[in-house]
Structure 1
Amino acid sequence: MSDRIPTREEQEGGGEVRYRMLYESDDKVYIRHIRGVYTRIRKYTGLPLLLAFFFIPWLNIDGRQAVHFDLPARQFHILWATFGPQDGILLAALLIISAFALFAVTTWLGRVWCGFTCPQTVWTLMFIWAERVCEGDRAKRMKLDAAPWSAEKVLRKGGTHAIWLLISLATALAFVGYFYGIRDLVVDLATFTAHPQGAFWVAFFMFATYFNAGFMREQVCKYMCPYARFQSVMYDKDTLAVYYDARRGEARGPRKKGVDYKAQGLGDCIDCYWCVQVCPVDIDIRDGMQYECINCGLCVDACNSVMDKMQYPRGLIRFTSEDELETGKTQYIRPRLVGYGLVLLLLIGAFSYEVATRSPVQAEVLRDRGARMYRISQGMVQNVYTVKINNMDQRPHEFSIRITGKPGYDYSLRMQQNPLVNPGELYSVPIRVSVPKKQLQDTKHDIYIEIQAKDAPELNDRHKTVFIGPK
C-alpha cells in the first residue's frame, strides 16, 4: 500500500496532481515574540486560570481542603458542599452544559477556547516564555540550535529545561493534590513516605506536561485534539474568526515605504511573513481558513504592527466573518446562536436549582431480602429494613426516623437508638417496622421512611419502600 495520497491543487491553468505524505513530522516551530491587543488578552485570560489552578488546592474551608476529590472515601468536596457517587447526575449535567457552552461560543467566536484558555495553549505559552528568557527571541533561538554544542549552549538549554521541569513539577503537584490532598502530598514526597500510587501519578503528569508543552505543542492541536476535527460543523458564514482580507492584500510583494504600490498592481500585503512567524500552529492564514487555526489572534497583532510601520490601515488580517468579507455585513443574532443560548440558559437554570435545593442529607432504605420476608409475633406483622444515612454536611447530626404509610394503619418502629452520623459518614442502622395483623388488607403496600436531623429540621429526606404481610 502506498504511503502517499494524490491531492489536486487548482491553478488558473488547470489542475496539477501532486503527492503528499500521509504523515510527515514538522520542523520545530520558532515563534516570534509580538506585542498587541490579543497578546495582552491571552495573558489576562490565562493568568487567572493559572492562579486558580495552582492556589485553590491550598485554600481551606471549615478545616479541610476547599476542593478535594477524595476517591478512596468516594467524597468530592467543592467549597462548602460535599458530593458523592449518587450525585453523578449533576456531573453529567455539568458536562452537558459545558458542551453547549462550547457549541455556543464556537458558533459565535470560533475557536477562542483553543486560542486563549485551552490548557495546552496556556502551558505552551509558559514554556515559550522560558525559552525566550534563556535563549532569546526567534532569531537567537534558531541560531543557537544551529550552532555546535558549547558551554554557552549547554547553559542556555539547561536553563530552559530546568524551568520546564519546575513548571511541570508544580503542575503535577497541583493536579494530583486535588485528589491526594496537597499538603499531605508535599510533606509525604519530601519525607519519602508518599503512597506509591501518588508518587507515580506525580511523575506521570510531570512527564506528560514536560513532553506536551515542551515538545508536542502544535502537534497536539493538529493531530490529537478532536475539537479541531468537528469544529467546522459549528461554523457558519457569520462566525467570527481570523481571516485574511485577500481583496485588499493581493497581490503580495515587497515595496519601499512612500512608493505608490497601487500603481504597481500590489495590495497591502508586503509579504513579510510575520503572520507565519508568530503562528503557534505554523500555518499561513493567507491561504484561507484551515482547521489547524486556533484563533489566537497573534497574526492579527503581527500584521497590525507591520501596517502601522507602513502607515497602512489596520485590519488586513482581523477577526471577522466570511459574510463580512463578501458583503460587508455580519449577522450577529441568528437562529442557531439564539437556540444554543436559550438551551444553555435553561440548562444552567435547572442545574443551579438542583444544586441550591439539594439536601446534604440523603437516605437509602434496603428491605430484608431473606427467606422470611415478614414475621408475625403477638398479632403484629414485622418487616426488617436497613436505613443508610449519608451525611454530606460539614457537621455531625443526630437523626430521628419515623414511618408514614396507609391511613388507618398503626405503624410502630423499633431500633436501638437514634443514629449519630459524623460529617462524610455513611451510617447503616437496622430498624423493625410493625403493623397489627388485623389492620392489613393487602399483601403489600407502600410506606415512607423519613429521616430528620434533630438540630436542623431542614436536613431531611424521605424514601419509599414496600411493607409485605400475609395473604
Structure 2
Amino acid sequence: MKFDIKEEDMIIKPYKHEGPIYIREQKGFFQRIRRNLGWLLMLTFILIPWIPYKGQQAVLLDVASQKFAIFGLTLLPQDFMILALLFMLGAFALFFVTNWLGRVWCGYTCPQTIWMLMFSWVEQRIEGTRNQRIKLDKSAWTLSKWQKKTIKHSAWLIISLFTATSFMAYFIPAKSLYGDMFTLQWSGITSFWVFLFAFCTYGNAGFLREKMCTIACPYSRFQAVMFDKDTLLVTYDSARGESRGPRKRKADPKALDLGDCVDCNLCVEVCPAGIDIRNGLQYECINCGLCIDACDDTMDKFGYQKGLIKYASEKQMAGEQTNPYRLKLVGYGALTVLLMVSMLAWLVQRTPIEVSVLRDRNALYRVNYEGLVENPYTLTIINKTQQLLHYRVAITGLDVAKLQSPQLTAVEPGQMKRIPVTVVADGYDLPNKLNQLDFVITAEEDRGIKASISSVFYRN
C-alpha cells in the first residue's frame, strides 16, 4: 500500500540506523495518552499479584502444581481449553484493532514500548536532553560521564530486577517471594528465572529498544496483511507539505514556492523507531503519534493549520470516505465477539467439581457372607475451588441398594482424591442383571457444588 507522494520523496533517506537512536522528548496529546496508559498498565501489572481474594492471592499461576487460581476460579490441566480460547480471542482482537487503527498495539500498549518509554524517561532525567545525550556520548570518559552512566545503568538494573520479581509474583506467592528476597533465601530456580527476566528486560528496553520492534518482532512483518485502504495510519500530507524547506516564521510559503513542511526534522527526532514518516508508509512505524505531536507544535509556531501529519486512511488522503463497515473489519470484530461469548458460555457451564467413577476390574460383582451382592467402585473427586471442601456421596436410581462409603471426604483446594465405595443390594430385589444408578456428590459447605455420574450395578 502506497500513498500519493512524489517520486523523488520515495528515495530520501531509507531506513538505516547503524548507531543508537536519540529520542527527543515530546509533549502533546498522543504522548499524554501513551504515558498515562503506560503508567496505568505498568501499575496494573505490578499490583495484580498483591490483590487478596478470600484470604488468598487472587491471581496465582502455580505451574509446578499445574493449577491456575484466578479470583476464585481454579483452572486445572483439563480446563486449559479456556487458554486456547483466550489466545484466539487476543489474536482476533489484535487483528481487529490493527485493521482499524494500524499498529496502535505497538505504539501504546506493547510491554516493549512501555518499558522502552520508561527507560528513555530515566535516561533523559539523568543524562539530559537529546542534544546533551549526543554530546555526552561523543565526549571523553570524564568523572562526570562515569557518574551519569553508572547512575543510569544502576537505575535500569533496579527497574529490571523489580520488573522480573513482579513477573515471578504471578507464579510464586508474592508475600513469600518478596519475603525470601529480603532475607536472601531465594531458591536456585527462583534466582535463575528472576535474573534471566531481569537481564532480558535490561537488554531489550535499555539496548535493543527499537530493534526489537523493527527486526526481532514478527508482528511488524505481517501487519500489512491486515491493512487495507480504510486503515487509519500515521500519514504525511505530501500534497500540502511539499516542497519542504526552512523559512522564517512570518515568511509567506507560497511566495517562496514552499509547502507547509518547514523541514525541522522534529518528526524524525521524536520517533522511537527513527524513521522519517515523510517517506511514506514504512513497516517500522509503530503508529505512536509522537510525530503528529511534534509537527502540530511546529505548525502552531508558524501559524499553519495542524494536521500535516495525522491519523488518516489511504482513502481519506485521496479525498474519499472511510468505510467503517468493511468486510474484513466486521469479520474480525464478529470473531472477537464470538470468542468472548464462547468463553463466557464455558465459564457459566463450568462446575467447581469434577467426578469420575471406575469399577473394580477384577470382578463385576461379589457375594458377601450374608448372600448380598456387592459392587465395588472408586470415585475420583477433583476440588476446583480454592477452599477445603467436605463431600458427601449418595446414590440415586436404585432404591433397593445401599451405599457403603465414608460419611464425609475432605478434599484440599485444587486437589484430587480417590474414594473406594461399595454398593450393596439383595439380588432378588433387582429386576435385571444390569441396573443403572447415579452417584451424587455434594459439598457440605455449599450444597450448590454438586455433581452426578452414572454407572451400572451387576447382580448374579
TM-score scaled by length of structure 1: 0.89
Residue 453, structure 1, aligned to residue 440, structure 2? no
SS of structure 2 residue aligned to 1:256: coil
Q: Residue in 2 aligned with 1:338?
A: 330
SS of 1:399's equivalent? strand
Distance 1:72 1:253, change over 3 A: same
SS in 2 for 1:251: coil
- Among residues 11, 22, 25, which one is paired with 1:30 in the alignment? 22
Q: Could you tell me how far apart the structure 1 residues matched to 2:80 and 2:425 are?
A: 37
Q: Which amino acid aligns with 2:439?
A: I
Give the equivalent residue in structure 2 for 1:230.
Answer: 222
Q: Is the 8 A contact 1:241 1:319 kept in 2?
A: yes
1:372 aligns with 2:367: no
Among candidates 401, 404, 410, match of residue 420 of structure 1:
410
- AA aligned opposite 1:89: M
1:200 aligns with 2:192: yes
* Aligned residue number for residue 43 of structure 2: 51
Kindly tell me: are residues 434 and 118 of structure 1, through their superposed partners in 2, closer, same or farther at Cα, counting changes over 3 Å? same
Helix, strand or coil for the counterpart of 2:170?
A: helix
Aligned to 2:303: 311
**Larger RCO: Structure 1 or Structure 2 (Cα < 8 Å, ≥ 6 residues apart)?**
2
Kept after mapping to 1: 8 A contact 2:393/2:407: no
Q: Which amino acid aligns with 1:188?
A: D
Letter in 1 for 2:167: F
Of 274, 280, 283 in structure 2, the residue corresponding to residue 282 of structure 1 is: 274
Q: Report the Cα distance in structure 2 between the residues aligned to 1:468 and 1:348, rounded to whole angstroms.
A: 45
- The superposition leaves residues 405-429 of structure 1 with CA deviations (integer Å, 9 ceiling, x where unpaired) of 5xx7744322233212233332221
Partners of 1:362 and 1:460 within 8 A in 2: no
C-alpha contact 1:452 1:461 (8 A) present in aligned 2:
yes
2:318 alignment partner in structure 1: 326
- Asked whether the equivalents of residues 76 and 414 of structure 2 are also in contact (C-alpha less than 8 Å), the reply is no
Structure 1 residue 104: deviation in Å?
1.1
Q: For residues 359-413 of structure 1, give each alpha carbon's deviation from its aligned partner in whole angstroms, at most 9, with x where no partner exists.
A: 2222233333x443543446655443322222233433322223345xx774432
User: How far is 1:322 from its partner?
Assistant: 0.7
Q: Which runs of 5+ in 1 are unaligned?
A: 1-9
1:216-295 mapped onto 2 (5 Å cutoff): 216-295=208-287
Q: Which amino acid aligns with 2:406?
A: Q
CA distance in 1, matches of 2:297, 2:146: 34
1:4 maps to: none
Q: How far, CA to CA, are the matches of 1:31 and 1:288 in structure 2?
A: 20
1:263-299, Cα deviation, whole Å (9 max, x unpaired): 3332111111111111111111111111111110001
> 2:95 corresponds to which residue?
103
- Structure 1 residue 344 displacement after superposition: 2.0
In the TM superposition, residue 62 of structure 1 has moved relative to its aligned partner by 2.0
State how far apart, in whole Å, the 2-side matches of 1:146 and 1:445 are: 89
* C-alpha distance in structure 2 between counterparts of 1:435 and 1:26, whole Å: 85
Counterpart secondary structure, 1:178: coil
Which stretch of the first structure deviates more once superposed, 185-194 or 278-287?
185-194
Structure 1 stretch displaced more, 268-277 or 123-132 = 268-277
The answer to whether the Cα contact below 8 Å between 1:76 and 1:82 also exists between their aligned partners in 2 is yes
| Equivalent-residue separation in structure 1 for 2:144 and 2:74 (angstroms) | 53
The 2-side partners of 1:151 and 1:262 are apart by 52
The 3 A distance-change label for structure 1 pair 247 and 379 is farther
What letter is aligned with 2:384? M
Indicate how the Cα distance of structure 1 residues 48 and 24 shifts in structure 2: closer, same or farther if over 3 A, else same.
closer
Give the C-alpha shift of residue 434 in structure 1.
Answer: 4.5
Q: Encode CA deviations 1:54-76: one digit per residue, 9 max, x unaligned.
A: 12212222222121112233222
Q: 1:389 to 1:144 in 2, by over 3 A?
A: same
Whole-angstrom distance in 2 between the partners of 1:97 and 1:188: 37
What does 1:43-122 correspond to in 2, within 5 Å? 43-122=35-114
- Aligned residue pairs total 451
Matching residue within 391, 398, 417 for 2:390? 398
Task: Give distance in 2, aligned partners of 1:324 and 1:173.
Answer: 47
Q: How does 1:150-189 map to 2 (within 5 A)?
A: 150-189=142-181
User: How big is each residue's C-alpha offset from its partner over 1:219-245, in whole Å with a ceiling of 9 and x where there is no partner?
Assistant: 111122121122112111111111111
Identity over the aligned pairs, expressed in percent?
44
Change in Cα spacing, 1:193 to 1:12, as seen in structure 2 (3 Å) is closer
Identify the range of structure 1 (191-200 vs 349-358) with the bigger mean alpha-carbon deviation.
Answer: 349-358
Distance in 2, matches of 1:257 and 1:283, equals 26
